[in-house]
Each structure stands twice: as structure tokens, then as C-alpha cells.
Amino acid sequence: MNAHQRSRDVRAGRLDADAYKDLFSDLHPPLDDHEAHVEADRCYFCYDAPCMTACPTSIDIPMFIREISTGNPLGAAKTIFDQNIFGGMCARVCPTETLCEEVCVRETAEGKPVKIGQLQRYATDTAMAEDKQFYTRAASTGKKVAVVGAGPAGLACAHRLAMKGHDVDVYEARPKAGGLNEYGIASYKAPGGFAQKEVDYITAIGGIDMHYGKALGADITLSKLAEDYDAVFLGMGLAGVNALGDADADAEGSLDAVGWIGDLRQASDISTIAVGARVVVIGGGMTAVDAAVQAKGLGADEVTIAYRGPKERMKASEYEQEIAKVRGVSIRYHMNPKRMIVTDGAVTGMEFERDGSTVVVECDQVMKAIGQSFAPDSAGNIALDGGRIAVDEEGKTSMAKVWAGGDCVNAGDDLTVTAVSQGRDAAESIHRALSA
Amino acid sequence: MADLSTNFVGIKSPNPFWLASAPPTDKQYNVERAFEAGWGGVVWKTLGEAGPPVVNVNGPRYGAIWGADRRLLGLNNIELITDRDLEINLEEIKATKKNWPDRAVVVSLMVPCEEEPWKKILGRVAETGADGVELNFGCPHGMSERGMGSAVGQVPEYIQMVAEWCKQHTDMPVIVKLTPNITDIRKPAEAAKRGGADAVSLINTINSITSVDLDNFAPEPTIDGKGSHGGYCGPAVKPIALSMVSEIARNPETAGIPISGIGGVTTWRDAAEFIALGCGTVQVCTAAMTYGFKVVQEMIAGLENYMDEKGYASIEDFRGRAVPNVTDWQYLNLNYVTKAKIDQDKCIKCGRCHIACEDTSHQAITNMVDGVRHFEVIEEECVGCNLCVNVCPVEDCINMEQIAGVDPRTKKPIDPDYANWTTHPNNPAVWAKEAAE
Ligand SMILES: Cc1cc2nc3c(=O)[nH]c(=O)nc-3n(C[C@H](O)[C@H](O)[C@H](O)COP(=O)(O)OP(=O)(O)OC[C@H]3O[C@@H](n4cnc5c(N)ncnc54)[C@H](O)[C@@H]3O)c2cc1C
Ligand SMILES: Cc1cc2nc3c(=O)[nH]c(=O)nc-3n(C[C@H](O)[C@H](O)[C@H](O)COP(=O)(O)O)c2cc1C
Ligand code: SF4
Ligand code: SF4
Ligand code: SF4
């Protein structure tokens, strides 16, 4: 059949209500007490544990697992939160298969790592379910810090600053906090409004004032913040999306994957999200996988991830690729995007070059997931490196009194957990500077 | 194919695996199921005097400790002897023995410490056709407060006296079951021998409190807010039992007395170890109570396999072989020098050997070599203590290897000849002797 003759099929409500529930429920159901104890017993309490070294926030993993096994899940939660206040979200979204669990000695021993992520979730869920707060604010220092962006980097920074007794104002462009936890992370990884619950749990420490709808570069300026505050932390993430270039077209059904996921995440009823019968996702990272899996989940018949490189180079881990395949997504490699096929102003296919020949994949939607970029305009003339804010190892930028962390800086790997660690460490650096 | 059959003081059984006197042997129903599963014999749950039977608590009677994955390692109980009517027990013993003539049926007994009750009960047991009796001098709770069980077992004179009565009043073989709740296990064993007992069996359970309920502040198992010490058994007690068995086996006063080994036997290997220390049969309780009677099939198959591999045709071929190798510390060879050696292919880099040696021993294992996580023994520091072997989660990953030549730790040549503490220059006794000469 010719792409031109087929009528586009993009609809909401492809499935009956129960099917939505199944597809967007927890990827891994939480461990119950018994499962958690059996799993915790597998940990060897390693010395200088490789898992801990691999964790960007250096959570004392052997210790928290031991606390679970001795019937002290709240102690375990505190051990986690001491290092990573987003321990709950990280337990859900960290690619553990390439971090802590990859290097777990039981992976070496028998190819089955201790389920560190799931145990972390068990502990943090226990504490959050009881609304057990472990931290209080130190006596007020009278210092004021502005944090830009209420994503994991910004809030981790704000929380640590609040602990130290500083007053924090958070400026967030969007109407809600959480950053990509709220707008980006796949819905099956953190269902049940978890992102907002976690924001509430974290900000409950007090001393953190949220200012929504305030965008740096539009509503506020960096120079003014630097003037009004004792220190500024920038955690704006990546507001831009990479373009497909010549292969792109401004057509109906040509979508930015992150934006589409954001709409999905914000929908009060996901059955209202329109999805094509055939969807092509261009990209090779987590965003591509998440968009594809969720498109499939919404009832698309055929979903293809088209990645331009070989399997090994794909940024989504093998495990993530496996999830996609199990959920019926086909992944095709070496697909170099050439041209979007547009009929009557709407997408009907995508043309690729593959090993010298042309491949056309008919589709109703093309989701572009080829990476996000830092939108430099917002931060004035701060020094950049590789298109992102240049920072030193403490998170200091080229501007006095200004620190930065998370996706917007040049030092990360675009993971939630890395954003948290950079936010936390910048707070410690700010605290040192303010107490000097 | 190895022959597992045993003849223990004239009591024959197709294999050395007997069920110890305990709940698994309290009824004909259980015992017949055990025989169907393959058990070679049973010691029937301890019978008391005629008349109203003892009563057990109606709350929990067991406590436990667990290892990883809640594997039961130690069990504790506050149960008494049989709480069923004597006549019913005797009838069932008789019927069971009749149905299973090739299996050993020994009857455990505990009556007040007077000649008449012992005489009476022995007569009744003889009528059942049972193969022998075991005198329960071991029960650490409930019965001892009534002047029975370990209250007798802790006084060697009483053991001797009761054994004598029993030998006088029955032709059946008499086995004396010993309590471990005593300082020197050789004393009651010697008393049993003096009293004419045909054999001893050990160990009975060890006084224990497995845990304390931290909400109610009472020992567990807790009955209406109170608890009392119980008897401890299961895998955790095996080392204690092996040691006590070896003491009796190598004590000149008791050497050669037939021993039925009890305490923590869970696998064929445990059984083989008791046999190597001289036991003619082994008795099992906790393993059966944990996994059911079928475990005996693993024990039988495993023991057969071991014996076939070693070329032992019968139990007697290796029984007691380890006894001559149990010695006193002072006779151990101080010129036997070993060093730990890590098999790098097996090492999973958990670091436990390092931290154990670093924090609590001799700082003899690296954790980093040239900036890389690497665990290796520093022979100059290693005293050969074996701690790392014991904490390593991977079997056979660390081994102790004997070295010769110069010990890198002491920088001194290793004397290839045997020498022990009795002649060591640091031994004050040696100075005293030299001074006297
Ligand atoms: C689709 C998708 C799926 C992902 N899945 C995973 C995953 O499974 N696991 C994982 O570890 N990581 C995942 N990531 C990456 C992860 O979400 C990010 O690394 C992480 O959120 C970065 O945190 P951040 O705080 O730096 O930025 P963000 O989370 O992006 O937060 C930045 C915040 O700043 C606000 N902001 C932006 N510009 C301005 C401005 N000018 N003024 C004021 N506020 C502003 C934004 O609205 C936002 O709230 C995923 C990313 C995407 C896009
Ligand atoms: C619940 C229970 C009841 C027991 N009752 C008796 C008993 O009546 N008479 C006796 O001689 N030993 C009794 N014992 C001790 C066992 O016979 C055996 O000596 C002890 O459990 C050690 O063996 P094990 O480690 O295989 O369990 C009992 C043990 C348990 C667990
Ligand atoms: S590496 Fe694995 S076994 Fe070792 S401490 Fe970490 S989780 Fe436990
Ligand atoms: S044998 Fe003892 S001293 Fe030697 S390396 Fe092992 S733990 Fe250390
Ligand atoms: S304890 Fe064993 S596995 Fe662990 S590092 Fe040492 S040798 Fe390797």
C-alpha cells in the first residue's frame, strides 16, 4: 500500500478503561515485607561496597539493606535520605542495571544482583507512608538563597540549604514543582502522583518558598537574583529540544517526544491522549523508549524506535530496550532520518537511509526524541561548556555567588540521581561559602 | 554399593538414621509415616509413670533463631515428656514394632528416681517387643523441677544408680541419654558405664532462651507474658554435640562405649561426622521437625554416595576414624605454617575478607592494589588464622595453604619437624623443667 493512499489514524481512547489501568500501573510492583526480607538477606554487607561507589549520591547501600533485614525500615530510609532526599523517585527511575546493580558482587557471583532499587523503594515508601520526617531546620542563618528550577537538582539543593538554616526561594517557570519527575519520567515508573507527593514530603522541612510561573530570563534576571540573594543555584534542566534538521517538517503529527510525554503525564485522564495507529519514535535514549512504550500502552498498533546507530551505542540500557521489546515495540538500528513524508499537512511516513538504501516507515505520528538542549538565553552571559553551564567540581559557575547543577550543567549524565547529587553538593558548597 | 545397616548394642536397623525421642516419635501414626519414608529406627517419645499423664502448656512451646532467608538454625522447646496415656503408648509401640520388625524401636523412659517405678515400667516396655530402652536424663525443663530428667543427669551417682537398676530389671539393651547442661560430659558418661549401661546417647537439648520479646519484655516463647528457659537443638548445637561426643570417645575411661550421636544432624554429612567420631547410629529431631520425614532420603543417599566414593563397604569401615585425630591443644604442631590464598577467579570482590582481617585480625589482606579494587593476602602479615576463609561468601575461594622454607611473617626458617607447646621455649613449664634439671 502506498503511504499517500492510507488515511491517517490518530485517536484518543483506543482501549477500554481497564486496559489503561494495566498498562500504566507500576512497572515493578513494590516488594512486600516478606519479599524485602528475602532480598535483603542476599546482601553481603560488602566492604567499600561497589554498589555504593556506583551510586552517584553514594547512598550507604549495605547499611540500609542491613537495616531492612534487621526490621528497621525507617532507619534504612534515613540512611538513604541522608545522601539522597529523592531516594523515593530514584528507587523508581534509576537505571540500576547500569549503576549500583550492575556492579553488585552478586551480579558477579551469579548474574543476579541484589534488587537494590526495589529495596530502596521499600524503605522510602515505608517512611513516606508514615510521613516520617527525619530532618529539621538548623537555627536560621539569616542568609537567603535563590534556587531556579524546581526539578530534582533544584529541590535537592533547596532541601539541603533549608537543613542548614538558610531561607530558600525557589523560582519555577511551570505551574508545578518536580521538573522532569513530574513532566518527563514515564508514567509506569512513578504512578499514583508520586512526584507531587515526594515534592510535598521534601518541602515539608520548611524554609522553602515556592514561586511558580516565574521564569528566569522572562520574569526574573540572574543579575537581579545575584543582587538580592546571598547565593543563587541554577537547576533549570534542559528547556530546549534538539531539532531533526532537514529531515523535520512542520506538520500535524510531528511531535516533540518530551512535550508529548509531558502532556500525557499531566492529563487527568490518559485515555484522552491521542495516539497514532502507527508511531515512529526517532532516538536512542530513555526518552525514546519511554515515548514508544507509552504510545504502545495507549493502544498504538505498531510502534517503531528508529535509532541511527548500532544497538551497543543506544543510550537506553539493554534492560530498557528489553522492556520496550517485551511491550511490543520494535527497535530498528542504523536508521538515519532523511525526510518526513507529509500529506495534506500531516505526517504519513518517515523516510530513512539505512546502509545506503532508502527505507520508508509509514506512520501517523513521528515522535522526536533526539535529545534536549540547554536554553542558554535564560542565564545571560554565564560561561558555557559544550552548550551547557560550565561548573567546577563544587558546582560553582563563572559568576560570583552563582552555582548550578543537574541537566543544565556540563558535568552530568542526564539522570535524576546525578541531578540530586549535584544539587546537594552545591548546597554544601554554598553553605561553606556562606558560613565562611 | 555401601551397606548402611547397623547393629547397635544388638539393636538392628537398616540404616543409622534414627528419629530422636521427641514429637516426631510420639505416636504410632507419626512413627509409621517415618518408617515409610525410610527412617532406620526411632526412639519413642519419653514415657512416664502410669497414671494421669503430664500436661503441656497450651500456648507456644517453641522458639527459634534463623539465619539468612529465615533458615531455621536453632530450635528451642518447653515441651515435656509424652502427654498421652501410658497404656495407649504401650499398645501403639507394640503394634508398630509388629508392623515394622526390621526397624529399631527403642523406648525412652523417665520415671521418678526410685527403683520401683523403674522396675515397673521396664516390665511394661518389655511386653511390647521393643528393641531397647533409652533413659532420659536430659530433659532440661519441667521434668527436672520434679527431680527427673537433667536433675538426675547432672548427678553422676544417680545416673549410675538408675543404670544399675535398669540393667538388673531388664534384658533389653539400656542406653543412657546424657544432658549437655553440665561442665564435664565425661563424668556422667563414666557413671553410665559404671552402672553397666550398654551405650550412651547425646546430646539432649541445651538450656536456652532464644529471644526476648522487646514489647512485652518476656522471653520467647511467651506464655501469657512469661517465659521459661527451654531446650535448644538444631544445626546450631551440632558443634557442641560433636565436641561432647569426641570427649567421651577419646576418654580412656569411656573409650569404646557405643554412642548414639544426637544434636543438629541435618544432612548426610553431619551424620557421617558423628560416625567418624565414633557414633554407631545418629538420632535426628529438628531436621525432621523442620522439613518432614522425607529428609532421611537425602541422608541415606548422601551417606551411600560418600561411602561408595571412599570405598567403605559398611559403617564400621569408617566409624571412629576421626577419634585419634582429636587431641589437646598443646599437642598441635606449631611448625605447621599456613597462609591464606585467594583464588582470584572465584573472588567476587565483596571485601569481607579484607575488613575482617583489617579491623579484627592482622591487616593481612589488601583492598586496593595500584588503585584497583583487589583482595590479596599479604604473606608477611598473615598468621594463618582462617578468619577470612570463614567470612568469605564464596566456598573454596580462600584456602589455607601450608608453606615451607622461610615464614615471610617471622622471617625465620620453618622447622620441617613436628614440635608442640610442651617443648616450646616460651612455655613456662619448660623453663621450670629445665631449672629443675
Ligand atoms: C522523557 C524522559 C525520561 C527520563 N527518564 C529518566 C529515568 O527513567 N531515569 C533517570 O534517572 N532519568 C531520566 N530522565 C532524565 C532526568 O529526568 C533528568 O536528568 C533530571 O530530571 C534532571 O533534573 P534537573 O533538576 O536538572 O532538571 P529538570 O528535571 O528538567 O528540572 C528543571 C526545572 O527547571 C524549570 N525551568 C526550566 N527553565 C527555567 C527557567 N528559565 N526559569 C525557571 N525555571 C525553569 C523546569 O520547568 C523544571 O521544573 C528522563 C528524561 C526525560 C526527558
Ligand atoms: C519439641 C522437642 C521435644 C523433645 N522431647 C524429648 C523427650 O521427650 N525426650 C528426650 O529424650 N528428648 C527430647 N527432645 C530432645 C531430642 O530428642 C534431641 O535430643 C534434641 O532435639 C537434639 O537433636 P536435634 O538437634 O536433631 O533436634 C525433644 C526435642 C524437641 C525439639
Ligand atoms: S554490592 Fe551487592 S551484596 Fe555488596 S553491599 Fe552492594 S548490594 Fe550488597
Ligand atoms: S588467615 Fe587470618 S591473618 Fe591471614 S589473611 Fe586470613 S584473616 Fe588475615
Ligand atoms: S571475602 Fe572472598 S569473595 Fe569477598 S573479596 Fe574476599 S576473597 Fe573475594
CB atoms within 10 A of CB B154: 19
Q: Look at residue B434 in the predicted model and tell me its pLDDT.
A: 82
Q: Look at residue A24 in the predicted model and tell me its pLDDT.
A: 74
- Which amino acid is present at B371? G
Q: Does B391 touch chain A (CB under 8 A)?
A: no
Contact B82, B46 (CB under 8 A): yes
Contact B381, B408 (CB under 8 A): no
Across the interface, of B70, B348, B355, the residue whose CB is closest to A105 is B348
Q: How far is Cα B175 from Cα B20, in angstroms, rounded to an integer?
A: 13
Q: Look at residue A98 in the predicted model and tell me its pLDDT.
A: 94
Cross-chain residue pair A109–B348, CB shorter than 8 Å? yes
* Catalytic residue flag (residue B397): no
CB atoms within 10 A of CB B342: 21
Q: Which of B307, B202, B345 is nearest to B262 (CA)?
A: B202
Query: In a mutational test of the pocket of ligand 5, which residue from B353, B369, B386 has the highest number of ligand atoms less than 8 Å from its CB?
Result: B353
pLDDT one-digit tens code per residue, A248-275: 999 999 999 999 999 999 998 888 999 9
Q: Does B354 touch chain A (CB under 8 A)?
A: yes
3-state secondary structure of B254: coil
pLDDT at A342 > cutoff 50: yes
Q: Which residues pair with A90 in a beta bridge?
A: none
- Chain centroid to Cα B402, Å, comes to 30
Q: Which domains does chain A have, with CATH numbers?
A: 10-23+241-372 (3.50.50.60), 41-129 (1.10.1060.10), 144-234+374-435 (3.50.50.60)
Contact residues, chain A, for B69 at CB < 8 Å: 38, 41
Q: Say how many Å lie between the CA of residue B316 and the centre of ligand 4.
A: 38
Contact A375, A216 (CB under 8 A): no
Mean pLDDT, chain A, integer: 94
Q: Read off the pLDDT of each residue in A90-100 and give the average, rounded to a whole number.
A: 96
Is the CB of B357 inside a 6 Å radius of any atom of ligand 5? no
**Triad A429, A432, A435: Cα angle to 5°:** 150
pLDDT at A380 > cutoff 70: yes
pLDDT one-digit tens code per residue, B208-240: 999 999 999 999 999 999 999 999 999 999 999
Burial (CB count within 10 angstroms: exposed 0-12, middle 13-18, buried 19+), residue A296: buried
Across the interface, of B68, B70, B354, the residue whose CB is closest to A47 is B354
pLDDT one-digit tens code per residue, A273-299: 999 999 999 999 999 999 999 999 999
Q: Which of B139, B279, B353, B397 is catalytic?
A: B139
Burial (CB count within 10 angstroms: exposed 0-12, middle 13-18, buried 19+), residue B127: exposed
Atom of ligand 4 nearest to the CA of B400: 1
Q: Which of B350, B357, B368, B395 to mutate to test the interface with A (most CBs of A within 10 A)?
A: B350
pLDDT at A376 > cutoff 90: no
Q: Which of A294, A260, A298, A261 is nearest to A277 (CA)?
A: A298
Q: What are phi and psi of B9, to 5 degrees?
A: 40, 45
* ipTM for the whole predicted complex goes beyond 0.95: no
Q: How far is Cα A388 from Cα A413, in angstroms, rounded to an integer?
A: 12
Q: If you search the block for the grid coordinates 532440661, which residue do you land on?
A: B140
Across the interface, of B68, B350, B367, the residue whose CB is closest to A41 is B68
Q: Which residues of chain B have pLDDT under 50?
A: none
Which grid coordinates are listed for A42? 542476599
Q: How far is Cα B1 from Cα A166, in angstroms, rounded to an integer?
A: 80
3-state helix, strand, coil in chain A (%, to 5): 40, 20, 40
Contact A9, A275 (CB under 8 A): no
The percent of residues above 90 in pLDDT, for chain A, comes to: 87
Angstroms from B269 CA to nearest CA on chain A: 25
Q: Look at residue A3 in the predicted model and tell me its pLDDT.
A: 44
Q: Say how many Å lie between the CA of residue A47 and the centre of ligand 3.
A: 9
- DSSP track, A276-304: ESEEEEE-SSHHHHHHHHHHHHTT-SEEE
CB atoms within 10 A of CB B32: 17
Contact residues, chain B, for A41 at CB < 8 Å: 68-70
Q: How far is Cα B226 from Cα B230, in angstroms, rounded to an integer?
A: 13
Q: Does B369 touch chain A (CB under 8 A)?
A: no
Q: Does B346 touch chain A (CB under 8 A)?
A: no
**Chain B: residue nearest A110 by CA?**
B348
Q: How far is Cα B93 from Cα B103, in angstroms, rounded to an integer?
A: 12
- What is chain A's Cα-based Rg? 22
Q: Look at residue A2 in the predicted model and tell me its pLDDT.
A: 47
Cross-chain residue pair B373–A50, CB shorter than 8 Å? yes
Q: Read off the pLDDT of each residue in A417-424 and give the average, rounded to a whole number.
A: 98
Cross-chain residue pair A48–B394, CB shorter than 8 Å? no
3-state secondary structure of A351: strand
Q: Look at residue A1 in the predicted model and tell me its pLDDT.
A: 41
Which grid coordinates are listed for A177? 514543582
Q: Does B65 touch chain A (CB under 8 A)?
A: no
- DSSP track, B132-157: EEEEE----SSSGGGT-THHHHT-HH
Protein residue with its CA nearest to atom 2 in ligand 4: B385
Q: Which of B70, B346, B348 to mutate to test the interface with A (most CBs of A within 10 A)?
A: B348
- Which amino acid is present at A313? R
Query: Is cis: bond before A50, omega within 30 of 0?
Result: no
Is the CB of B340 inside a 6 Å radius of any atom of ligand 5? no
pLDDT one-digit tens code per residue, B369-402: 999 999 999 999 999 999 999 999 999 999 999 9
